[in-house]
Structure 1
Amino acid sequence: MADKCTIPVIDLHNLPNQLPELISACENWGCFRLINHHEILSTKLMLEMKKVVRSLLDLPVEIKRRSSDAIAGSGYMAPSAKNPLYETLALYDMARSGDVERFCQELDATHDQREIIMRYAEAVHELFMRIAKKLAEGLGVKRGDIGFENWPCEFRFNKYNFIPESVGSPGVQLHTDSAFLTILQDDESVGGLEVMDKTGKFITINPWPDTLLVNLGDMATVRL
């Protein structure tokens, strides 16, 4: 699959040796595919989390609306005139067990669902810290100057409500992520994701099962 991937591929096991490639991917593309992350985030947990996400987003709207807004954009967002095919559930900080527990309580998540969400949140946060520290290292940022350890890490579950008549329509408006780093588990079989290259051309990102997509947000600027 690596030879068919349209964006750079970073091997987490080989990250010390791939540090120049990681920096190049971030500077030239702003995103990359992450492979061999299973020591932290296993295939089994990824599949379990997808089942939980589907079941929570299939809940009645009146239950999903219980999910509260810690900040604008967290909680439940229903389809809107701007994004008619898109809905999402989100919690403000996956690194805080209290935030995760409150999110689960609001949605009446089962014990098993809560366990999966907790384990998945911990694994993704660990991945975030690993990648962010390597980025800082590759850019020459001194360890004492790294301040992202206590940053909140939003946890978002997205659903695109496509029907045959809407296939080909944008799932969500053109945007950049407002945060620092996004780690995305995309659909294993359905494509549609696109990124813009340096020329302004949109590049299709093909599905690649059992991998993660990482992209930089608006806050990913280093001042030396």
Structure 2
Amino acid sequence: MLLPVAGIYMAPTSINPLYEALGLGCTSADVDKFCSLLDASSPHQRQTIMRYAEAAHELFMRIGKKLAESLGVKSQSIGIGNWPCLQIQFHPFGSPGVQIHTDSGFLTILQYDEGVGGLEVMDTSGQFIPVEPWPDTLLVNLGDMATVWSNGRLCNVKHKVQCKEAKIRVSIASFLLGPRETVEPRLELVDDDHPRWYVPTTYEDYRKLRLSTELQAGEALALLHTPTVNKMLESRGG
């Protein structure tokens, strides 16, 4: 299963000892089962969660369409309306926060905690820049699947959380993960000047690759580079 049937709990680990998360899928069935598990049975609670999920999905579609159009890809053909999405509510606190990583999916919409900062993103020089909370705004990240899909035209974003205040920090991230089927560079984005840079994969296979290699900051993409894969096949006599 690519998505949890109802909800998942991500417990603290040795790498991120002060991080935990609660996640659920974006469909009405996922929300219903999730609410039942938490005994959140009132119509108002379920309606609030479902309205948030629907609004996040609609925003994913709008952003995805704009990204496709900016690259010259026909938006009606990219098919992201059928891609699964996942919502995770974060509760990191203390110091350190969350290690350097990229998001493995296509897009992330973050409702940032307006009371507690800590998010830092890496700029083109390799320096981390704090992203201060800004009321009534959402933050959008590009993930590894966007880099594959765009043949490297869209860049994933390395980021981390440095929790420096003795406060609980709560934020809600919605992830547009990637197709259940194969994802590969769009044909419109492959030409003589921009040869195919990534081999076909699936989001689930790529997620497993990141976990097995412990390459969480986008480095696993190098294992999908077409020249790298071809060289590996040649060395094996493939």
TM range (shorter): 0.5 to 0.7
SS in 2 for 1:174: strand
Q: Distance in 2 between matches of 1:187 and 1:215?
A: 16
Q: Distance in 1 between matches of 2:93 and 2:39?
A: 23
Residue 89 (structure 2) aligned to one of 148, 151, 157: 157
Q: Distance in 2 between matches of 1:203 and 1:144?
A: 35
Q: How does 1:66-81 map to 2 (within 5 A)?
A: 70=3, 75-81=8-14
Residue 184 of structure 1: how far off its partner (Å): 0.2
Map of 1:89 onto structure 2: 22
- TM-score normalised to structure 2 length: 0.58
Residue 69 of structure 1: how far off its partner (Å): 8.9
Deviations 1:9-30, CA, capped at 9 Å, x for gaps: xxxxxxxxxxxxxxxxxxxxxx
Indicate whether 1:108 and 2:39 are aligned.
Answer: yes
Map of 1:171 onto structure 2: 97
Residue 203 of structure 1: how far off its partner (Å): 0.6
Question: Residue 87 of structure 1 contacts residue 158 of structure 1 at CA under 8 Å; is this kept in 2?
Answer: yes
Q: Distance in 2 between matches of 1:144 and 1:188?
A: 35
Map of 2:170 onto structure 1: none
Residue 114 of structure 1: how far off its partner (Å): 1.3
What is the CA RMSD across the aligned residues, in angstroms?
1.8
Runs of 4+ in 1 over 2 A off after TM superposition: 68-71
Indicate whether 1:124 and 2:50 are aligned.
Answer: no
Question: Residue 3 of structure 2 contacts residue 86 of structure 2 at CA under 8 Å; is this kept in 1?
Answer: no
Map of 1:10 onto structure 2: none
Deviations 1:115-161, CA, capped at 9 Å, x for gaps: 11011111111111111111111111023431211000111111013
Residue identity opposite 2:104 in structure 1: S
Q: Distance in 2 between matches of 1:136 and 1:198?
A: 23
Map of 1:98 onto structure 2: 29
SS in 2 for 1:203: strand
Name the % identity.
Answer: 65
Q: Distance in 2 between matches of 1:130 and 1:144?
A: 12
Q: Distance in 2 between matches of 1:215 and 1:209?
A: 18
Which structure: larger Rg? Answer: 2
- TM-score normalised to structure 1 length: 0.62
Alpha carbons of structure 1 residues 158 and 139: separation in structure 2 relative to 1, 3 Å: same
Deviates more, 1:105-114 or 1:171-180: 105-114
SS in 2 for 1:194: strand
Map of 2:226 onto structure 1: none
| Contiguous gaps of at least 5 residues in structure 2 | 151-185, 190-238
Map of 1:218 onto structure 2: 144
RCO higher in 1 or 2 (8 Å CA, sep ≥ 6)?
Answer: 1
Question: Residue 69 of structure 1 contacts residue 75 of structure 1 at CA under 8 Å; is this kept in 2?
Answer: no
Alpha carbons of structure 1 residues 114 and 78: separation in structure 2 relative to 1, 3 Å: same
Question: Residue 76 of structure 1 contacts residue 90 of structure 1 at CA under 8 Å; is this kept in 2?
Answer: yes
Map of 1:186 onto structure 2: 112
